[in-house]
Structure 1
Amino acid sequence: MTQGAVLDLDDRFAAFSDHWRPRVAARLNGQDVRLVKVQGVFPWHSHAEADEMFLVWKGRFRVEFRDRIETLDPGQFIVVPRGVEHRTAADAEAEVLIFEPSQVINTGDAAVSDFTAPQGQTI
């Protein structure tokens, strides 16, 4: 992660292969730009203090709410408001950018599990 440098998303995504382990590609104004590969279903959770924005780079990605499911294609994004319970999913591998405050833990209020990513991993 280098501030003030041009980053290539294809190169950055090619640098890792695991799922549900966001990497910090950039930091700005207390926010992280995180890159994550996803496949399968993530646990239900919420973030009491932070909104989350998901932007799909490649593949198809779902954000499931208790009352509806939103499916996103490349170039589409969604903002999940703070405090709203949700889970994310992808039937096949997808690449997603997440924009959220640096202190946010990816599993939010869900119990610590194999899905809980180490904080601050950069790429």
Structure 2
Amino acid sequence: MTNGAVVSLDEKFAAFSEHWRPKIAAELNGQTVRLVKVQGVFPWHSHAQAEEMFLVWKGVFRVEFRDRVETLRPGQFIVVPRGIEHRTAADEEAEVIIFEPAEVVNTGDAEASAFTAPQGVRI
């Protein structure tokens, strides 16, 4: 998708303002690199067939598990194992890069809602 071109994350994140709607910035080897702005609390869900990696670009981002909460800051990442129930949250707006298989729906096994992002939206 980027055809070997340099991508500016600052420019990509500046191109949208909505929360919880990941945008595809690049694709490689069946994976997507998605950019998302977050604020508030996302629904509990899991992904039976895929791990997700969240890398914080700006702000403070939480990944909440049923038994603990992990707080991430810029430059930190976490991999959520497949099948593990989790939800994500940010008290103030944060910008996050997500690495996951192309077919992953952001709300996983949760019922479709206003949080369910359309598939295939590129930025």
Matches within 5 A, 1:1-123: 1-123=1-123
| Cα offsets for 1:68-109 (capped at 9, x unmatched) | 000000000000000000000000000000000000000000
- Tell me if structure 2 keeps the 8 A contact 1:3–1:26: no
Paired residues in the alignment total 123
- Tell me if structure 2 keeps the 8 A contact 1:54–1:77: yes
Distance 1:111 1:28 in 2: 28
RMSD between superposed Cα atoms in Å = 0.6
Structure 2: 5+ residue stretches without partners = none
| Cα offsets for 1:26-53 (capped at 9, x unmatched) | 0000000000000000000000000000
Return the TM-score normalized by structure 2: 0.99
Which letter does structure 2 place at the counterpart of 1:61? Answer: F
| Cα offsets for 1:50-71 (capped at 9, x unmatched) | 0000000000000000000000
Distance 1:22 1:4 in 2: 22
Secondary structure (helix, strand or coil) at the match of 2:87 reads strand
Which letter does structure 1 place at the counterpart of 2:46? Answer: S
Deviation, 1:4, is 1.1
Distance 2:78 2:26 in 1: 20
Which letter does structure 1 place at the counterpart of 2:5? Answer: A
Distance 1:43 1:100 in 2: 18
- Tell me if structure 2 keeps the 8 A contact 1:38–1:95: yes
Secondary structure (helix, strand or coil) at the match of 1:35 reads strand
Which letter does structure 1 place at the counterpart of 2:112? Answer: V
Distance 1:96 1:88 in 2: 11
Return the TM-score normalized by structure 1: 0.99
Distance 2:40 2:103 in 1: 25
